[in-house]
Amino acid sequence: MKEYRIAVVPGDGIGHEIVPAGVKVLKAAAKSHGFELSTAEFAYGAGYHKEHGDFMPPDGMDRLEQFDAIYFGAVGLPDIDDTLPAKMFTFKIRKGFEQYVNYRPARLLPGVPSPLRNKESGEIDFVVIRENVEGEFVQAGTIIRPDADDGMAVDTSVFTRKGIERIAHYAFALARRRRKRLTNVTKSNTLIHSLLYWDRVIEEVGEDYPDVKYDKMYVDNASANFVLRPERFDVILTTNFIGDILSDLGGAIVGSLGLGPSGNINPEKRYPSMFEPIHGSAPDIAGKGIANPIGAIWSGAIMLEHLGQANTAAQIVSAIERTLQQGVLPVDLGGSASTVEVTDAVLRNIETKQG
């Protein structure tokens, strides 16, 4: 029997509720398709930092590298400096394992009302492909004399030809498998060096994909179109910073950030990729049993697809859709179903479909 080794990192807050829910669904779906998920849990995150002064042990990356994939919840707690989780955990993993693709689909699912008037299932279906290790989030900069009248702070963005080319090839190839349309979301009319170079390299890569319709849109216009005409988008290719914001907006227009999945992907599979819902640790609702597990469950489906189990991934997404169509809605979608009740409904739908 085929076996995949998965490192499970619940993280903090609601991660300890939604990640176990996702693991149950993933293992049930794997069993129905004749393969096995072998999991090992790691207590990394802000809670670990409170005890040890870091978000993972010194050999944490070496441990995680031994697995086929990482299944992650969320990281951060109110009493921990909120500049630390990205620097000491999330960015460390993304950069260390060359997870240069951030894959974030936004799809209006059946049974979920969109906050956008007159938008129905099928009318919003796009993927934000965010460059994940360069750009605006390299954290190259400094603060000089912060309390002085002439104090200053500098952050420097970094865009390399290699980094732009590889994310562009990934995005164009994805668009070729979807509806053959790619939109480069940029701001090169004001960031006239870094993003002008970004645009230039993307256009060069696009010449290798003549069957994909390419267009460019400034981020302010794209934000308006997310709300006014979201159906125009298929694959969106954008930078680390812009993609971080737009993918949350995408989650909002399909009903809730609680629905949003994501993958931090190393396409070559040289290193393990990491899969996580797009929302945070939500400590304000942790322990109440009302967290929406769908983003985590869907992230697990993306993980299985990455590992080569596309049929199993499709079965999980189908089970999510049927659960929502049956009216089993968590609190963030206006329903009253608990984390456990949503998870159990997804499990029933997997078993029913298999039977």
Q: What count of Cα atoms within 13 Å lies in the side-chain half-sphere of residue 10?
A: 19
pLDDT score of 322 more than 80: yes
The per-residue DSSP string of 102-131 comes to EEEEEE--TT---SSTT--TTS-EEEEEEE
pTM given for the model:
0.95
Q: pLDDT (tens digit, 9 = 90+) per residue, 234-293?
A: 999 999 999 999 999 999 999 999 999 999 999 999 999 999 999 999 999 999 999 999
Q: Which CATH class is domain 132-253?
A: alpha beta
Question: For a pLDDT cut of 70, what percent of the chain falls above it?
Answer: 99
Give the mean model confidence (pLDDT) for residues 63-90: 95
Spatial CA neighbour of 72 closest among 22, 131, 137 = 22
- Tokens 């005890």 — which residue? 51
Indicate the CATH number for domain 1-109+254-355: 3.40.718.10
Mean pLDDT across the stretch 175-202?
Answer: 98
Report residue 354's pLDDT band, with 50, 70 and 90 as the boundaries: low
Boundaries of every domain in the chain = 1-109+254-355, 132-253
Give percent of the chain above pLDDT 90: 94
Q: Is the pLDDT of residue 23 over 90?
A: yes
If pLDDT is split at 50, 70 and 90, which confidence band does 355 have? very low
pLDDT, the chain, mean: 96
**In Å, what is the CA distance from 180 to each residue of 174, 177, 199, 232, 328?**
8, 7, 19, 12, 34
